[in-house]
Amino acid sequence: MKTKPKEKILTYFIGLADLALLVLSLLQIFHPIFKLPNLGVFNAKGSIAQAQSRLIITAILMMLCLAIPVLAAGFFIIFKYRDGRNGEYDPDWGQRHNRLQWVWWLFPGLLIALISIINFQSAHNLDPLKAIDPKTKPLTIEVMALEWKWLFIYPDQDIATVNTLDIPQNVPVQFVISADGPMSLFWIPQLGGQMAAMTGMTNHLNLIATDLGSFRGQNSEINGAGYAGMTFTVNSVTPSNFKTWVAAAKQSSPALTAAVYKQLELPAQNVPAATYAPVDPNLYYGVIDRYMGPPSVGHDHG
């Protein structure tokens, strides 16, 4: 089957993007020398973040193809026709070439047409709602953004954690996200993101870690005084280590009851990591329901 020319152009760009990403990953060898942290979104540890960084590089390269010649021509012209240089002064040039103004629409038009294609495709391929592998059952983690800490509930494992998150390598994870407080944004730059956490509703975010390691996670939406400290660590571990971790957590952790949650709910800054087991099974949806109930007089007058 013949590929359409537009698609062909796109494949060239994606090839170039991969090359650029390769160079970037080689550069990362030097990051201790430059004291740079892991190169954030370009140091992807999962297939979603990998695809997103590839998309970013592809789009940048496509735009440079127009921007660099235009800028080069622009500055060349500015200096060539500087008053006192030998550039020919022809004030009526414009009137004779008036129709060129319509040609100019074509160049950015074509570029944006191409970018619109990858815009549409990537918006669907990388839709956070989409299951990563329809054949595998994902690990479900309920995320609750509190003032100012993250509560992660593993409903199938019956454990919960605060500000720390263990996930098995190469297993798709489905984050089910809500909030019990102001709006927050859930982001793990090296795995992908971001998704809003809002009261009374649930958002979904599907991610996967293809590498082992510890990654930084954070809130990216201002939600009050403890905003900057609302970070968490994501540990990608082997599936067998994950099982061991779950078993250990179940043995030695306090239960997450309604009373404990009430304590957890109180605003607090820079909260240390914690683990809970077992977990009140209705906790997550109970919190959501609380925000959907009838108006209660004086409820939100702090």
Partner 1 sequence: MNILFGNLTWSSLPHEWFTIAGTATIIGGGAFMAGILTYFKRWKWLWNGWLTSTDPKKIGIMYLIVASLMLFRGAVDAAMIWLQQSIAEGPHAGYLTPAHFQQIFTAHGDIMVFFATMGLLFGLINLIVPLQIGARDLAFPFMNSLGFWLYVAGAIMINMFFIFGGEFASAGWLSLPPLAEIAYSPGVGVDYWIWSLQISGLGTLIGGINFIVTILKMRAPGMKLMDMPMFTWTSLCSMLLVVSVFPILTVVITLLWLDRYFGLHFFTATAGGNPMMYVNLIWMWGHPEVYILILPTFGIYSEIVSTFAQKKLFGYTSQVLAAFGVTALACLVWLHHFFTMGAGADVNAFFGIMTGIIAIPTAVQFFNWISTLYKGKIRFATPLYWFMGFLACFTFGGMAGVLLSLPAADYQLHNSLFLVAHFHTMIVSGALFGIFAGITYWFPKIFGFRLNESLGRKAFWFWLFGFLLSFGPLYLLGFLGATRRLDHYNVPGWQPLFIAAGLGLALIGIGALFQVAQIIVSIRDREKNRDTSGDPWNGRTLEWSTASPPPFYNFAVVPTVTGRDAWWENKQKMRDARTGRGQEYQNIEMPKNTAMAIYLSAFAFLASFAFVWHIVWMQIFGLAGVIVCIIIRSLDENTEYTVTAQELEKFEKSPARYL
CB of 282 to partner 1, least distance (A): 19
Q: Count of residues binding partner 1 (CB under 8 A)?
A: 106
- For residue 162, the cross-strand partners are 151, 274
Indicate whether 131 belongs to the interface with partner 1 (CB under 8 A): no
Residue whose CB is less far from partner 1, 87 or 254: 87
Contacting residue, 9, 39, 260, 274, with partner 1 by CB under 8 A:
39
Q: Which of residues 136-175 bind partner 1 (CB under 8 A)?
A: none
- Within 174-193, the residues that bind partner 1 by CB under 8 A are 181-183, 185, 187, 189-190, 192-193
Task: Select the residue interacting with partner 1 from 42, 154, 242, 284 (CB under 8 A).
Answer: 42
DSSP 146-174: ETTEEEEEETTTTEEEESEEEEETT--EE
Q: Determine, following the binding rule CB under 8 A, whether residue 218 of this chain makes contact with partner 1.
A: yes
> Bridge-partner residues for 12, per DSSP?
none
Which listed range, 5-13, 50-58, 137-145, 161-169, lies at the site for partner 1 (CB under 8 A)? 50-58
Judged by CB under 8 A, the residue of 139, 160, 167, 198 near partner 1 is 198
Contact residues for 51 (Cβ-Cβ < 8 A; gap 6+): 122, 125, 126
Please tell me the total number of residues recorded for the chain in this structure. Answer: 302
Q: Which is nearer to partner 1, 169 or 218 (CB)?
A: 218
Q: How far apart are CA 28 and CA 38, in angstroms?
A: 7
- Kindly state whether residue 240 participates in binding partner 1, applying the rule CB under 8 A: no
Q: Which of 22, 100, 258, 273 binds partner 1 (CB under 8 A)?
A: 100
> Stretches 133-141, 152-160, 199-207, 257-265: which one binds partner 1 (CB under 8 A)?
199-207
301's tokens = 């007058």
The answer to whether residue 274 forms part of the interface with partner 1 (CB under 8 A) is: no
Residue number with CB closer to partner 1 (159 or 195)? 195
Q: How far is CA 92 from CA 103, 105, 273, in A?
A: 19, 22, 72
Upper half-sphere CA count for residue 249 (Cβ side, 13 Å): 26
**What is the DSSP code (8-state) at residue 186?**
E
Q: Binder to partner 1 among 26, 29, 123, 266 (CB under 8 A)? A: 123
Contact 264, 148 (CB under 8 A): no
Q: Which of 19, 22, 23, 71 binds partner 1 (CB under 8 A)?
A: 71
118 is a site residue for partner 1 (CB under 8 A): yes
Would you count residue 30 as binding partner 1 (CB under 8 A)?
no
CA–CA distance, 206 with 126 (Å, rounded to integer): 9
Residue (52 or 275) nearer to partner 1, CB = 52
Q: Which of 147, 161, 145, 152 is nearest to 197 (CA)?
A: 145
134 binds partner 1 (CB under 8 A): no
* Piece in contact with partner 1 (CB under 8 A), picked from 2-10, 84-92, 154-162, 257-265: 84-92
Nearest to partner 1 of 157, 223 (CB atom): 223
Is 108 a binder of partner 1 (CB under 8 A)?
yes
DSSP label of 86: S
Residue 224 within binding range of partner 1, rule CB under 8 A: yes
User: Are 211 and 169 within 8 A, CB to CB?
Assistant: yes
Question: What residues contact 178, with CB distance under 8 A and at least 6 apart?
Answer: 142, 143, 144, 145, 197, 198, 199, 200, 201, 202, 203, 284, 287, 288
